[in-house]
Structure 1
Amino acid sequence: MNITGNTIFIPGSTSGIGLALALALHDKGNTVIVGGRRTELLDDIASQHPGIDTVQIDTTDPASISSAAASVIDKHPDLNVIVAMAGVMHVEDWHHPDGFLNSAEAVITTNLLGPIRLIAAFIDHLQKQPAATIVTVSSGLAFTPLKITPSYNASKAAIHMLTESLRLQLSDTSVSLKELVPPSVATDLLPGQRESSFAMPLDEFIAEVMQILQSDPGGKEIQVERVKFLRYSEVRGEYDDVVRSLNESDPN
């Protein structure tokens, strides 16, 4: 994926990592379409950042995904990059069903079914482009778990393996797969995370992501240095120690 000259759709990017990445990619000379559920946020983004297009989309709703995809492709026929950014993270207690079932269903619907449905909506179009990229978003917690967020960890582990599998299956097409693997970043993903000393400052994260994209355009995973503590804990033979350290610390 070249860092400039693309037309990029980023659903789930009205705040946090998604919005910051959208702005950074736009500044690099890409055409960027921001997607989100709340029209007032989309209107604010469009007014504050001329040149960025917006579309309403709810990635938990198959009909909304289909409608948004048709609109984006119609208005931007040269679309060649999808970033499946939308995600939620909930603290859960699995001792009793009331502590996790509704949350788990919501997390899986957003974090796993959402990207699957997005890919289904755009895959025919992307394969017609000379070069196209699907960017998925997993997490360091896909590789080393945080005990209070089981469904989130599982959804991101599934995204990692989905990405690995699609990279193999689509190797005979013009579509490449790239996986963004964030650490804890100072956003509102969980209450208190924005103020956490454990979380990586958002501007530092985006700057490092953009540097990686520029220096390694063909790379399979976008890994900032801070996430490698989690990403490679098992490879280093330190999995149990890192799990213990992560879950004894206060990540928020």
Structure 2
Amino acid sequence: MGIGCALAEALHHLGNKVIISGRRKERLDETIQANPGMSAVELNVQDPASIEMVAKKLIKDFPNMNVLINNAGIIQPDDAAGVIDEDVLISTVQTNLLGPIRLTSALIVHLKSKEEAIVINTTSILGFVPLAATAIYSATKAALHTYTLSQRYMLKDTSVKVIEIVPPWVQSNNDEPRAMPLSSFIDETIKVLGTDTDEVLVEEAKIYRNNPGPNEGVFVTHLNDTMNSDGNKFLSFDKSYSR
């Protein structure tokens, strides 16, 4: 199970009306069948037409909707020292950065009409301490972080609160022992979401979130040297971090 599905189920179990989205209908059907009362819509965040169509459907079918969680993300190996695969570049940027921006844009007028509303953007510790073998992914998460800061400022005098979730390395769809257990991450995230915060940081993420500064390259080098000490570690990290 990935972060998005686990978070959706946790919020559902707390009594919230949850609508999940994704490209794979069979996955959506499995999730809503396991969680009676949950709803689903098919959405391709790489496709502006799909985003526009789904946004209109959501506003029509769920007029009380007042929370948007932008969680879709893909991570793929790339080579910042060589020739970048165009498909990897385009799909990663469209999903991780353009998707959240476009979907929020399509729903923001509706959200601002609510007495209280929330936009949640899921970024990553890799937006603060990049993994060199996934440079494009790391860059999209850094970009989404700064976009979130601007979005929060621009919405500060409205009813819409903007929150950023910054996951560390999490055991999503895997049992990688070096990663944080998914259940622990979700439990801590739900607790922090219940406070008046702009950023959701579990304890494991704080050291990475606090890294940027004049000497940030030292930590970046250390992380990548550690991960690169065994060539298979990069592959393991890539598979377990994707969601």
For normalisation by structure 1, the TM-score amounts to: 0.87
**Is the Cα–Cα contact under 8 Å of residues 80 and 132 in structure 2 kept in the other structure?**
no
1:23 matches 2:9: yes
Which of 155, 175, 198 pairs up with 1:170?
155
Over aligned residue pairs, what C-alpha RMSD do you find? 1.5
1:39 matches 2:16: no
Name the residue aligned to 1:3. none
Q: Distance in 2 between matches of 1:126 and 1:220?
A: 18
For normalisation by structure 2, the TM-score amounts to: 0.90
1:142 matches 2:127: yes
Counterpart of 2:156, as a letter, is S
Q: Distance in 1 between matches of 2:47 and 2:193?
A: 31
Aligned residues: 229
Structure 1 residue 240 displacement after superposition: 3.4
Q: Distance in 2 between matches of 1:27 and 1:100?
A: 41
Counterpart of 1:119, as a letter, is T
Structure 1 residue 44 displacement after superposition: 1.1
Name the residue aligned to 1:6. none
Name the residue aligned to 2:168. 183
Residue-by-residue CA offset, 1:174-199 (whole Å, 9 max, x unaligned): 111000000111124xxxxx232221
Q: Distance in 1 between matches of 2:60 and 2:80?
A: 44
Q: Distance in 2 between matches of 1:39 and 1:196?
A: 28
Name the residue aligned to 1:221. 199
Q: Distance in 2 between matches of 1:104 and 1:197?
A: 29
Name the residue aligned to 1:124. 109
Name the residue aligned to 2:100. 115
Structure 1 residue 39 displacement after superposition: 0.9
Which of 35, 53, 57 pairs up with 2:43?
57
Name the residue aligned to 2:241. none
- What percentage of aligned pairs have identical amino acids? 39
Q: Distance in 1 between matches of 2:57 and 2:210?
A: 40
Q: Distance in 2 between matches of 1:17 and 1:145?
A: 20
Q: Distance in 1 between matches of 2:118 and 2:179?
A: 28
Q: Structure 2: which 5+ residue stretches go unaligned?
A: 228-232, 238-243
